[in-house]
Chains A and B, each alone.
Chain A
Amino acid sequence: MSGATLFDKIWNAHAVADLGDGYALLHVDRHLLHDLGGGRAVMDIKEKGLALRNPGLTFATPDHAISSAPGRAGTSETGKRLLNDLRTLSHEYGVRLFDVGEPGQGIVHVIGPELGLSLPGALIVCGDSHTCTHGGMGALAFGIGSSEVTHVLATQCLIQRRPKRLRVSFEGARAAGVTPKDMILYLIGRIGAAGGTGYAVEYAGGAVRALELEGRLTLCNLSIELGAKMGMVAPDDTTFAYLAGRDFAPKAELWDEALAYWRRLPSDDDAVFDREERIDMAAVAPQITWGTSPEQVIAVSERIPDPAGIADPGKRRAAEAALAYMGLAPGTPIAGTRIEHVFIGSCTNSRLSDLRAAAAVAKRGKVAPHVRAWVVPGSETVKRQAEAEGLDRIFRAAGFDWREPGCSMCLAANGETVPRGERSVSTSNRNFVGRQGPGARTHLASPAMAAAAALAGAIADVRTFGG
């Protein structure tokens, strides 16, 4: 018999019951709630006359609906109500809340790892599709819908069908200017936004092993943009070093027990995957999206594709519609395209390492006069650490706005939007039609590329920029 994959090991350890046909009732170790769904879920629980089964395994924080303006000044009435719902939930049901202004608050997918709540081998869910981010810790983590959130609160379990297994091996070394964001965007460009649908993805290979933990979170974050609900990286010494000493990570003899368990998690050498993909890192350059699906992506040195050259009729029509929406001309180099906005933030790229990379570029100039550039740290802790290092001063001196932690312009709540017809380079994960506001034109890129665009006032190649 062949060995087991990382995915199989975690799935099997959480199967409370086999429901037949590949379905299982799975135990949930960590459940994260945010302001968009938290209050609503508890209302559902009340209406149905249910109780919270294990409130000690659920953790809450506001991120989506609060303003990122200084002092949270822009929070809408609805946003305030949603925050109050979370506070009520926390008081009534004993769910630990990380409230505005205190360490621990932040984007759910930033705080889980940062607090040591997200652990290798754990099964983690949240009513948000980017829960796949936590897979970077060696966890099995995925997004769920509101009904499923209610289900977890009431039963601490979920009914799921076992997905197939895909291993993506990134082999070779990262070239200069190439970040984890570029690796995952390149992969999505290669196999498509539906390329991972129905799979749990394990990212492997030398280039993944060489990544710091935060980079692994970025890689896993865009699994859902690949169509995969779950993405993961096997835990190793990098993971353990990151976790040691974090607030909610196991301590003392529990740490030793956990460590022994975690070391057995990586896929066995003879494990078989349903599918394998291999990416040669020599082919990966800094990426930028040109369309309205993350699969519509090219290297920043390339030209905007001409739909006429796309054989598949569905993809050709999609490309035509995307170029019309984005206001781009086929055949022209994408570098040099004028932009008006830059957003550095989101659960993809708002951690300390991302801000350091952006600041290293921001140091070299000033934000172009016609550009509004925002830096939104992913959590209160990231914000404080960045300030302790002086990153906020670098950004401010260069003309960036330094804001309060949350989702902000990634999803365009609280009027934090890109105006119709205007163009943004964003470090977030979705370039969908209207994602950053009705009519907004979004180009996805890495933090360094976004900072370079802010200074240049146009899409720029970070490798040659200001050199």
Chain B
Amino acid sequence: MDKFTQLKAIAAPLLRENVDTDIIVRIERLVGATFRNELGRYAFEAWRLRPDGTEDPDFVLNREPYRSAQILLALDNFGCGSSREGAVWALKQRGFRAVLAPSFGDIFFNNCYQNGVLPVIMPNSAVQALARQVEADPGRKLVTVDLVRQVVVAPDGGETAFAIDRLRREALLDGLDDIGLTLKRESEIAAFQAQDRARRRWIWAVETGR
């Protein structure tokens, strides 16, 4: 997994609530998609493109300098809906490594960590304040997301601390993925299963057929 330590970058304000993963990437782009790295161009296509296929200049990610943004500013419940991890792949391919929002869809939130993308929970007012600063001079007003110090630094230097679970923070800093961590616990899993087979025989009966 890609590490995440510190990122200073252009932040794009996408100030909408309940942005769902269907909007982030449409299902037909994912059905049978073999290459995750092709998904970036499909990110937000329902908003980026007009029905005739041309770009909608009003959509924030179609405007300079936000085309090269690596941080996304969003509102409540970002990434709600479908569990499709393709939503995170599409965002990441598009260049995003951090999303700052007041709350996230639970499954999307977990999927971010599996892919080295940092979801930062920040109060609505703090996201809005960042957006105002950025919009004043989008090309130069950069935002810093610092996982080492657990702060977001606004263009004017103001800092907002954020909380992150220790486990998730360490995995991101070191680029570790969950499977590697869990495989080290094989003996604990084996012990649990051995006990459980006696304790809840009715769960395990399916292994040997009906």
Contact = CB atoms under 8 A, between A and B. Distances in A.
Given A23-B167, A57-B206, A257-B202, A193 B18 contact: yes
B188 A318 contact: no
Contacts, number: 195
B207 A147 contact: no
Contacts of B106: 163, 197-198, 227-229
B31 A413 contact: yes
Contacts of B103: 194, 197-198
B46 A314 contact: no
Interface stretch (B6-14, B61-69, B76-84, B144-152): B76-84
Contacts of B193: 27, 54, 156
A17 B83 contact: no
A155 B182 CA distance: 7
A382 B115 CA distance: 39
A172 interface: no
A295 B202 CA distance: 39
Nearest to A23: B167
A159 B183 CA distance: 12
Interface size class of B (residues with CB under 8 A): 35 or more
A129 B188 contact: no
A279 B193 CA distance: 41
B50 to A, nearest CB: 11
B167 A21 contact: yes
Given A194-B80, A224-B81, A413-B28, A293 B114 contact: no
Given A143-B107, A145-B111, A159-B181, A433 B80 contact: no
B179 interface: yes
Given A194-B80, A258-B202, A432-B81, A148 B114 contact: yes
13 contacts: A25-B182, A53-B189, A65-B32, A128-B83, A147-B114, A157-B185, A160-B110, A250-B205, A254-B202, A257-B201, A314-B76, A318-B17, A430-B20
Q: Which 8 A/B pairs are nearest by Cβ-Cβ distance?
A: A56-B207, A78-B32, A147-B114, A194-B77, A250-B202, A258-B202, A145-B111, A145-B85
Interface of B: 15-18, 20, 22-23, 26-28, 30-32, 46, 51, 75-77, 80-86, 88, 103-107, 110-111, 114-115, 165-167, 177-179, 181-183, 185-186, 188-189, 192-193, 196, 200-203, 205-208, 210
Given A16-B188, A144-B110, A430-B82, 5 more contacts: A16-B192, A193-B77, A225-B81, A318-B18, A433-B46
